[in-house]
A and B are shown apart, each in its own frame.
Chain A
Amino acid sequence: MTIAPSMAAEVAYASDRSPLLEVRDLSVVYDQTGLFRRKKPPVIEDVSFDVFEGETLGLVGESGSGKSTTGRAILRLLEPSQGTIRFDGAEVTAFGRRTPLSYRREVQAVFQDPTLSLNPRQPVSMAVTEALRRHGVRDRATRRRRAEEAFDQVGLARAFLGRYPAELSGGQQQRVAIARALALRPRLVVCDEALSALDLTTQNQIINLLCDLQTEFGMSYLFIGHNLEIVKHISDRIAVMRMGRIVELAPAEQLFADPQHPYTKRLLGATPADHPDGRDERRAVRKAYAQAHADGVIPQP
Chain B
Amino acid sequence: MSDTVTIRTRPRGPEQLPSPTARTVKRLLRQPITMIAVLWLLVVLVCAVTAPLLAPFDPNDNDFTAVLQGPSAEHLLGTDENGRDVLSRIIFGARIALLVGVGSVIIAALIGIPLGLLLGFRGGWYDRIGTRFIDIFDALPGMLVAFAVIAILGRGMLPIMLAIGLIFCMNIARMTRAVTLAERGKIYVDAGRVSGLREVSLLFRQVLPNITGPLIVQGAILVGSAITIEAALSFLSIGLESTTPSWGGLLGVAVTKMAVQPFMIFPPGIAIVLTVLAFNMLADGVSQALGSQRRRRLRRTDRAAARAAGAVGAAAAPDADAVLQVDDLTVTLFSEDKRVPLVTLDHLTVGRGEVVGVIGESGSGKSTFARAVLGLLAPNLHITGGTIRIDGKDMTHAPPSQWRKLRGGTIAAVFQDPMASLSPVHTVGAQLVDTLRAHRRLSRRAARVEAAALLERVGVRGAAKRLDEYPHQFSGGMAQRVAIAIALASEPALLVADEATSALDVTTQAQVLDLLLDLRDEYGMGILLITHDMGVVAEVCDRAAVVYSGSLVELTDVKSLFDAPQDPYTVELLAARERRPRTIEARVPASEEVTS
Enumerate chain B residues within 8 angstroms of A62, measured Cβ to Cβ: 505-508
Given contacts A211-B582, A214-B586, A236-B588, contact A276 B595 (CB under 8 A): no
| Chain A minimum-CB-distance residue to B213 | A121
Instruction: For chain A, residues 106 to 149, give those with C-beta under 8 angstroms from any C-beta of chain B.
Output: 107-109, 111-113, 116-123, 127, 130-131, 134-135
- How distant is the Cα of A133 from the Cα of B515 in the complex, in angstroms? 53
What is the minimal beta-carbon distance from B539 to any residue of chain A, in angstroms? 5
Instruction: For chain B, residues 175 to 211, give those with C-beta under 8 angstroms from any C-beta of chain A.
Output: 186-188, 190-198, 201, 205-206, 209-210
B190 x A199 contact (CB < 8 A): no
Interface flag for B17 (CB, 8 Å): yes
A204 x B535 contact (CB < 8 A): no
A116 x B506 contact (CB < 8 A): no
Interface flag for B517 (CB, 8 Å): yes
| Chain B minimum-CB-distance residue to A162 | B16
* Interface stretch (choices B330-338, B367-375, B489-497, B572-580): B572-580
Enumerate chain B residues within 8 angstroms of A273, measured Cβ to Cβ: 535, 538-539
A166 x B558 contact (CB < 8 A): no
List 5 contacting pairs A-B, 8 Å CB cutoff, sorted by A: A17-B590, A107-B194, A117-B187, A162-B16, A287-B514
Enumerate chain B residues within 8 angstroms of A116, measured Cβ to Cβ: 186-188
Beyond A112-B187, A120-B210, 20 additional pairs, beta carbon < 8 A: A52-B588, A104-B194, A113-B187, A116-B188, A117-B190, A119-B188, A120-B20, A199-B532, A200-B576, A200-B577, A211-B582, A214-B586, A254-B594, A266-B507, A270-B507, A272-B539, A274-B534, A275-B538, A279-B539, A279-B540
Interface flag for B562 (CB, 8 Å): yes
A99 x B539 contact (CB < 8 A): no
Enumerate chain B residues within 8 angstroms of A17, measured Cβ to Cβ: 590
Our pick among B506, B562, B591 for the contact of A236 (Cβ within 8 Å) is B591
Closest 4 CB pairs of A and B: A272-B535, A104-B196, A131-B195, A226-B505
Our pick among B209, B510, B533 for the contact of A270 (Cβ within 8 Å) is B510
Enumerate chain B residues within 8 angstroms of A56, measured Cβ to Cβ: 586
Instruction: For chain A, residues 227 to 283, give those with C-beta under 8 angstroms from any C-beta of chain B.
Output: 227-228, 233-234, 236-237, 251, 253-254, 266-267, 269-277, 279, 282-283
A180 x B191 contact (CB < 8 A): yes
Enumerate chain B residues within 8 angstroms of A13, measured Cβ to Cβ: 590, 594
| Chain A minimum-CB-distance residue to B583 | A215
Interface flag for A42 (CB, 8 Å): no
Given contacts A116-B186, A276-B559, contact A283 B20 (CB under 8 A): no
Instruction: For chain B, residues 551 to 596, give those with C-beta under 8 angstroms from any C-beta of chain A.
Output: 558-559, 562, 576-580, 582-583, 585-588, 590-591, 593-595
Enumerate chain A residues within 8 angstroms of B582, measured Cβ to Cβ: 211, 233-234
Given contacts A134-B196, A233-B579, A273-B539, contact A286 B510 (CB under 8 A): yes
Q: Residue among B17, B191, B198, B461 with the most chain A CB within 10 A?
A: B191
Interface of B is mostly: helix
Interface flag for B511 (CB, 8 Å): yes
| Chain B minimum-CB-distance residue to A53 | B588
Enumerate chain B residues within 8 angstroms of A199, measured Cβ to Cβ: 361-362, 532
A282 x B361 contact (CB < 8 A): no
Interface flag for B348 (CB, 8 Å): no
What is the minimal beta-carbon distance from B56 to any residue of chain A, in angstroms? 47
Given contacts A118-B188, A166-B20, A184-B195, contact A269 B510 (CB under 8 A): yes
Interface flag for A89 (CB, 8 Å): no
B506 x A117 contact (CB < 8 A): no
| Chain B minimum-CB-distance residue to A64 | B475
Interface flag for A164 (CB, 8 Å): yes
| Chain B minimum-CB-distance residue to A235 | B582
Q: How many residues of A contact B (CB 8 A)?
A: 86
What is the minimal beta-carbon distance from A203 to any residue of chain B, in angstroms? 9
Enumerate chain A residues within 8 angstroms of B477, measured Cβ to Cβ: 63
Contact with B along A143-179 (1 / 0, CB 8 A): 0000000000000000000111011010000000100
| Chain A minimum-CB-distance residue to B210 | A121
Enumerate chain A residues within 8 angstroms of B194, measured Cβ to Cβ: 75, 77, 104, 107-109
| Chain B minimum-CB-distance residue to A122 | B209
Interface flag for A91 (CB, 8 Å): no
Given contacts A164-B20, A200-B577, contact A169 B196 (CB under 8 A): no
- How distant is the Cα of A77 from the Cα of B578 in the complex, in angstroms? 35
Contact with A along B504-522 (1 / 0, CB 8 A): 0111111100100100000
- How distant is the Cα of A9 from the Cα of B186 in the complex, in angstroms? 38
What is the minimal beta-carbon distance from A32 to any residue of chain B, in angstroms? 13
Given contacts A77-B194, A101-B196, A134-B196, contact A207 B475 (CB under 8 A): no
- How distant is the Cα of A60 from the Cα of B188 in the complex, in angstroms? 24
Q: How large is the interface on B (under 10, 10 to 19, 20 to 34, 35 or more residues)?
A: 35 or more
Q: Residue among A134, A135, A177 with the most chain B CB within 10 A?
A: A134
- How distant is the Cα of A272 from the Cα of B190 in the complex, in angstroms? 32
- How distant is the Cα of A50 from the Cα of B578 in the complex, in angstroms? 30
Interface flag for B12 (CB, 8 Å): yes
- How distant is the Cα of A144 from the Cα of B587 in the complex, in angstroms? 33
B510 x A127 contact (CB < 8 A): no
A215 x B534 contact (CB < 8 A): no
Interface flag for A2 (CB, 8 Å): no
Given contacts A63-B476, A184-B195, A270-B506, contact A276 B588 (CB under 8 A): no
Our pick among A120, A130, A251, A275 for the contact of B591 (Cβ within 8 Å) is A251
Given contacts A63-B475, A200-B533, A215-B583, contact A55 B506 (CB under 8 A): no
A134 x B197 contact (CB < 8 A): yes
What is the minimal beta-carbon distance from B81 to any residue of chain A, in angstroms? 53
Interface flag for B536 (CB, 8 Å): yes
| Chain A minimum-CB-distance residue to B562 | A275
Enumerate chain A residues within 8 angstroms of B591, measured Cβ to Cβ: 55, 236-237, 251
A201 x B538 contact (CB < 8 A): no
Our pick among B17, B201, B586 for the contact of A211 (Cβ within 8 Å) is B586
Interface flag for B401 (CB, 8 Å): no
| Chain A minimum-CB-distance residue to B18 | A164
Enumerate chain A residues within 8 angstroms of B593, measured Cβ to Cβ: 12
Given contacts A13-B594, A215-B586, contact A104 B535 (CB under 8 A): no
Given contacts A122-B209, A208-B580, A214-B586, contact A251 B595 (CB under 8 A): yes
A274 x B188 contact (CB < 8 A): no
Interface flag for A3 (CB, 8 Å): no
A253 x B595 contact (CB < 8 A): yes
B187 x A16 contact (CB < 8 A): no
Instruction: For chain B, residues 432 to 486, give those with C-beta under 8 angstroms from any C-beta of chain A.
Output: 461, 475-477
Our pick among A55, A123, A233, A270 for the contact of B509 (Cβ within 8 Å) is A270
Interface flag for A212 (CB, 8 Å): yes
| Chain B minimum-CB-distance residue to A163 | B16
Interface flag for B19 (CB, 8 Å): yes
Given contacts A169-B12, A236-B587, contact A131 B507 (CB under 8 A): no
Q: Residue among A55, A119, A204, A214 with the most chain B CB within 10 A?
A: A119
Our pick among B210, B510, B562 for the contact of A119 (Cβ within 8 Å) is B210
Interface flag for A83 (CB, 8 Å): no
Enumerate chain A residues within 8 angstroms of B361, measured Cβ to Cβ: 199, 201
Enumerate chain A residues within 8 angstroms of B509, measured Cβ to Cβ: 270, 272
What is the minimal beta-carbon distance from A212 to any residue of chain B, in angstroms? 7
B210 x A212 contact (CB < 8 A): no
